[in-house]
Amino acid sequence: MLFVPGNNPGMIQDAYIYGSDSIMFDLEDSVSVGEKDSARCLVYEALTNLDYGTKETVVRINSLESGLGISDLEAIVRARPNVIRLPKTEFAADVTDCEKEIERIEKKAGIAVGTTKMMAAIESAIGVLNAKEIAFSSKRLIGIALGAEDYVTNLKTNRSPEGTELMFARSMILHAARAAGIAAIDTVYSDVNNEEGLIAEATLIKHLGFDGKSVINPRQIAPIHKIFTPTEKDIKKSMAIMEAIAEANRKGSGVIALNGKMIDKPIVERAKWVLKLARVSGVLKDMEE
C-alpha cells in the first residue's frame, strides 16, 4: 500500500505507475491543517477523473474527533474509493460511528449502502488491546493496520531495527485480523535509504503472517513484492499438492499422500494460498507460459 500525500498533485497523478497493489491518498498527517480543504478537493477530483485501473484506492481521512473527519467523508464517500481508512482507531465505536456517517452519505448520494469498505489503523496501546473488538466491529471492515510511529510514541519508546517493541502489537493485530477473517497490513518502514532494514522487516512480518506492508516511497515496493511473491519451488510444491488432491478425488481415495508424506487440510490450505499469491503476482502465469 503506497502512501501518497493528498495535497501533492504530481504524486497523486503518478501513483499508479509504481506497481503497488494499493494506493492510499492521505488527508491526515501529511496534510497541514490549513490545507485540508484543498487536499480534499484534490483527492476528490483525482478519484472522480483519473483511472487507477485495478489498483485498490484507499483514502485516509482525519478522525471524526478532529472535527475534520465528517467533511472528509462528505467529499470522499462521493468520490467512491474502494476503501476509507480510519486513523488512530482505539475502540470498536470509532469504526461504527464512522460507518454510520458513511451510510448516511451513501444514502444521500444515491450510492448503494455498503459500497464503501473500511480499514482501521491501530496506533495506540488502547487500540492494540481492543484489536479484536475493532476487527469484528463492522462488515465493511476489510482489514486492520498497524501505525507504528504513533504507537511507539504512545508506548514511550522508539522504533528499533529489530522491531522488538512492535512484537506484541503485530501479534495482537494479526490474531484479531485472522479471527475476523480480514487483512492485516503492517506499518511503514520510515528509513527509505535503508533497503537492507526494509527487507529484514518485510521478511519478518511476512513470516508472522501479515498480508502486506505500507510504503512511503515507491522504491520500497519492489523489495516487498519480491518477499511476498512465492518462490518457484513453493509454487511447484503447491501445484503437486493440488494435483495429488485431484488424483485422489478421481480415484475416490480417502487418504492423500505426496512423496510418502500425508497431505492434510492445513497443507492444502497453504498450497491454495501460495497459488493465489502466485497468480495475483503474475509469476504463476509466467511459469505456465
Partner 1 sequence: MELKKVGTSGTLESSDIMVTIKGTDKQKIDINLTSSVEKQFGEEIRSVISDTLKKLGICAAEVIAVDKGALNCTIRARVKAAAYRACEITDFSWGDNNE
Footprint on this chain of partner 1 (rule: CB under 8 A): 8-10, 13, 37-38, 40-42, 44-46, 48-50, 71, 74-75, 78, 108-110
Whose Cβ is closer to partner 1: residue 3's or residue 151's? 3
State the minimum distance, in angstroms, from the CB of residue 145 to partner 1.
27
Q: Are 135 and 176 in contact (CB under 8 A)?
A: yes
What amino acid is encoded at 265 in this protein? K
Of 70 and 125, the one with the shorter C-beta distance to partner 1 is: 70
CB of 216 to partner 1, least distance (A): 18
Q: How many residues does the chain have?
A: 289
Work out how close the CB of 144 gets to partner 1 at its nearest, in angstroms, rounded to a whole number: 28
Name the one residue in this structure whose C-alpha cell is 497459488: 275
Give the nearest distance from C-beta 97 to partner 1 in angstroms: 20
Q: Give the residue with the Cβ less far from partner 1, 34 or 181.
A: 34
CB nearer partner 1, residue 110 or residue 260: 110
Identify the DSSP state of 215. Answer: B
Q: DSSP assignment, residue 80?
A: -
Q: With contact defined as beta carbons under 8 Å apart, do 125 and 119 qualify?
A: no
Query: CB-based contacts of 130: which residues, under 8 Å, 6+ apart?
Result: 90, 91, 92
Nearer to partner 1 (CB atom), residue 34 or residue 254? 34
CA distance 247 to 253: 9
- What is the smallest separation between the CB atom of 138 and partner 1, expressed in angstroms? 23
CB of 81 to partner 1, least distance (A): 14
The answer to whether 213 touches 22, Cβ cutoff 8 Å, is no
Please name every residue paired with 257 in a beta bridge, in sequence order, or none if there are none.
262
120 touches 134 (CB < 8 A): yes
As measured in angstroms, the least distance from the Cβ of 17 to partner 1 is: 13
Distance CA 270, CA 285 (A): 19
Nearer to partner 1, 80 or 132 (CB): 80
Q: Which is nearer to partner 1, 41 or 280 (CB)?
A: 41
Q: Is 199 helix (H, G, I), strand (E, B) or coil?
A: helix
Provide CB contacts within 8 A for 137, sequence distance 6+. 92, 93, 95, 96, 120
222 neighbors 19 (Cβ within 8 angstroms): yes
Query: 40 vs 60, which CB is nearer to partner 1?
Result: 40
Q: How far is the CB of 13 from partner 1 (least distance, A)?
A: 6
Q: What is the C-alpha end-to-end distance of the chain, expressed in Å?
A: 29
